Amino acid sequence: MSGAERAAIVEVLSADDHADLSVVQTYWRVFDAGTVACSQRTFYRVAAAAHLVGDRRRRRGGVGPARRRPVVRADAVGQLWSWDLTELRGPRTQDRYLLYLVIDVFSRYPVAWCLEHRESAQRAVELFTTAITRHGAPTVLHADNGASMRSTVLLDALEAAGVLASFSRPRVSDDNPFSEALFKTVKYDLSCPARFDSIDHARQWTAQFLHRYATEHRHSGLGRHTPASVHHGTAAEVQAHRQRMLDRCWATHPERFHRRPTAPALPGPTGINIHLSQTG
């Protein structure tokens, strides 16, 4: 199944109308309504992978079920974007700049970013409008639980663009590992100032860093390809060039190798909570 189809099943299972129903009961109701088009076995397999089986009833006392673990797969560029905000420090203790950063999960490519003085749902809408115009709409957008992430104005804009929204569980950083990993890379970069002179200084540095990251960083989770190479579809060509180089090395000095060398594999499927690939 595609990532979008899996995300749709998880969304159906997590809906309030189905929270007290078994997986089988939910399946036949949405199947009869034409909401899903898959077998009962496939529906149950997706539910099990998302830990949405077992006793699904609400607890007594008005306390709803725990937030479901998000499970979203990315098999190709454009299927899944992830975004989050982090703080960069200004010259004074009270100076804080918010970095909005959106990445394509499959390629780790930064598709959009901005730096602002404060969090704003309207600014997020503008950011995604520009990103979708430039790169096309992703199938799923994953985010944490910030006010702008769950704002009505942003969710309406995403729905209008045909984008499914996915959210982390509260206080579970592992539910958004790709954004968290890139933020760590940003802040641990040796050229990252402990404090920026101004927001313009922070914007200038961030633009330079993200360009370097996208075009020069050989990512461990991408077979040591750059995010730009994977995102723009040149990774296979790069891999073939690497293999030709290794073949020449092997032919010239086979005694230097224990076995015939092979270039790292192209990146494969990854995603939120599917444990198929590295994030950093």
- Tens digit of each residue's pLDDT (9 = 90 or more) over 161-214: 999 999 888 767 678 899 999 999 999 999 999 999 999 999 999 999 999 999
Cα–Cα distances in angstroms (integers) from residue 162 to residues 9, 13, 37, 128, 132, in the given order: 16, 20, 19, 13, 11
CA dist 224 and 218 (Å) reads 4
What's the mean per-residue pLDDT of the chain?
88
- DSSP-assigned beta bridge partners for residue 143: 83, 167
CA dist 114 and 276 (Å) reads 30
Confidence of residue 2 (pLDDT cuts 50, 70, 90): confident
CA dist 271 and 75 (Å) reads 8
Q: Where are the domains of the chain?
A: 3-68, 74-222
Q: What is the DSSP letter of 38?
A: S
CATH 3.40.50.150 assigned to 74-222? no
Sheet holding 140-143, edge to edge: 109-116, 96-104, 80-89, 140-143, 164-167
Tally the C-alpha atoms within 13 A of residue 225's C-alpha that lie toward its C-beta: 28
Tally the C-alpha atoms within 13 A of residue 91's C-alpha that lie toward its C-beta: 5
Most distant CA pair in the chain: distance in Å? 74
Count of other CB atoms within 10 angstroms of residue 273: 18
The reported pTM is 0.75
When pLDDT is averaged across residues 252-270 and rounded to a whole number, the result is 92
CA dist 75 and 21 (Å) reads 31
CA dist 226 and 231 (Å) reads 9
Q: Is 27 or 239 the better-scoring residue by pLDDT?
A: 239
Q: Which of 26, 31, 28, 23 is nearest to 53 (CA)?
A: 23
